[in-house]
Structure 1
Amino acid sequence: MEQSVFEVVKQSVTTKAAAEHYGIEVKRGGMAKCPFHSDQSPSLKLNDDYYYCFGCGATGDVIDFVACLFQIGNKEAAERIAADFGLQYDTHVPYVLPKRTATAVQIAKQRERYTYGVLTRYHSQLQEWLARYAPENPDDEIDSRYLEAIHQKDYVEYLMDTFLSSSLEERALICSERNPDIRRIAHRLVQLTNENRQISTEFLSR
């Protein structure tokens, strides 16, 4: 049975192989810096049959990836991959895009994006506090936010590293709604948001 260019490409080329072929450095665990947003550290996960960015939420298959990378249509992207990887296909076989419905995998990805977003936002806040509230002299009173940053930063970085390097099963545990660490951090972020909102309100009312 003859196959369309879409079918041949999706069966023959992984997202990781395509990313590496087009100049993206892929690190341990299939992680890379996402080319679709300003990515300071690898947040793009390249699996065999799909990619997912924990930072911006970009996702899709290898054809979607190349289409977004070069800002071209999916058909043009598929033909480009086929040409670059020397794949043969029947040009007369049409390809019908499958209907996309929400799946357990997509729901899991959404949960992963939320979890990683919680960790990165809190980590950025801790880094800011370390820089802003570091005591200048040994006798200075230590700000509570600086203490929080000192005590929490290493652990948050551990959670982020574990998240990025863990198996699907381990990552699912980290992303579970019942995970006490993620719930505590998310609650702390809500507290900070409310505190900042109150400060802004008081400043405007003066």
Structure 2
Amino acid sequence: MAQSLFEVVKQSVTTIAAAEHYGIEVNRSGMAKCPFHSDQSPSLKLNNEYYYCFGCGATGDVIDFVARLFQLSNKDAAEKIAADFGLQYDNHVPYVLPKRTATAAQIQKQRERYTFGVLVRYHRQLQEWLEMYSPESPEQEIDPRYVEAIHQKDYVEYLMDTILSGDPEEKTSICAERNPDIRKIVHRLSQLSNENKQLKDESLSR
């Protein structure tokens, strides 16, 4: 069965391979200096399927990476990867996955993507709080959101790093449906969303 451009690229080229091909040095831990912001030390984490920058929050798969790197559309980025890596594909016949029951491995990948997405959202919020509420003097009262960011940021980064490059058992443990830490983060994000909605409604009613 013929495969589409996007399927061929994602199945054939890892995010790490693309980064290295386009001149980005990736160390043994899968870390590199992020090309999307002024990065003094490696803050970009890559694995075979996607990437995440702990500095600027950039994230996505191999096509997203090349699109952002060269300021291309996703289609143009996929075509560039295919050309640069000599990939063959049929652009006229769409690739249709056969209907089948999801395997345990597929379910685990779905859980990893979901959990990673939750952590990315929370990490961005923590980073924003660190920048917005950092005390300007020792006498200034410390905002509780700044305290939360200080306490949680390193742990959230550890969880994200484990999903990206940890061993299968660690990933399964973190992404388990009833993992209490992830459930707390989901609850916290929901709480923040409700608070923001309430503030918006109050502002509109004035």
- TM interval, shorter chain, is 0.5 to 0.7
Letter paired with 1:189: L
Post-superposition CA distance 1:73-109 (Å, at most 9, x none): 99x7699248xxxxxxxxxxxxxx6744453233322
Name the count of aligned residue pairs.
Answer: 171
> Could you tell me which of 67, 75, 79 is aligned with 1:72?
79
Letter paired with 2:200: S
Against the structure 1 CA distance between its residues 27 and 100, is the aligned structure 2 distance closer, same or farther, given a 3 Å change threshold?
Answer: farther
Mapped to 1, the partners of 2:111 and 2:33 lie a distance apart of: 20
2:206 is the alignment partner of 1:199? no
Within a 5 Å distance, the mapping from 1:1-206 to structure 2 comes to 15-16=13-14, 19=18, 22-23=21-22, 25=24, 26-28=26-28, 42=44, 44-46=46-48, 51-52=49-50, 55-56=59-60, 70-72=77-79, 80-81=86-87, 99-101=97-99, 103-104=102-103, 105-206=105-206
Post-superposition CA distance 1:141-172 (Å, at most 9, x none): 21111111111112112222222221122212
Greater Cα offset, 130-139 or 101-110: 101-110
Structure 2: segments with no counterpart, 5+ residues: 1-7, 53-58, 64-73, 89-94
Q: Greater CA radius of gyration, 1 or 2?
A: 1
TM-score relative to the length of structure 2:
0.63
The residue number in structure 2 matching 1:87 is: none
Against the structure 1 CA distance between its residues 99 and 139, is the aligned structure 2 distance closer, same or farther, given a 3 Å change threshold?
Answer: closer
The residue number in structure 2 matching 1:88 is: none
Against the structure 1 CA distance between its residues 53 and 69, is the aligned structure 2 distance closer, same or farther, given a 3 Å change threshold?
Answer: farther
Mapped to 1, the partners of 2:164 and 2:17 lie a distance apart of: 21
Post-superposition CA distance 1:44-82 (Å, at most 9, x none): 531xxxx456744679xxxxxxx96754399x7699248
Mapped to 2, the partners of 1:15 and 1:158 lie a distance apart of: 26
CA contact (8 A) 1:24 1:32 kept: no
- Percent identical across equivalent pairs? 51
Q: What RMSD in Å do the two structures reach over aligned CA positions? A: 4.1
Mapped to 2, the partners of 1:21 and 1:134 lie a distance apart of: 36
Mapped to 2, the partners of 1:135 and 1:73 lie a distance apart of: 46
Mapped to 1, the partners of 2:145 and 2:127 lie a distance apart of: 10
Against the structure 1 CA distance between its residues 201 and 184, is the aligned structure 2 distance closer, same or farther, given a 3 Å change threshold?
Answer: same
TM-score relative to the length of structure 1:
0.63
Structure 1: segments with no counterpart, 5+ residues: 1-9, 60-66, 83-96
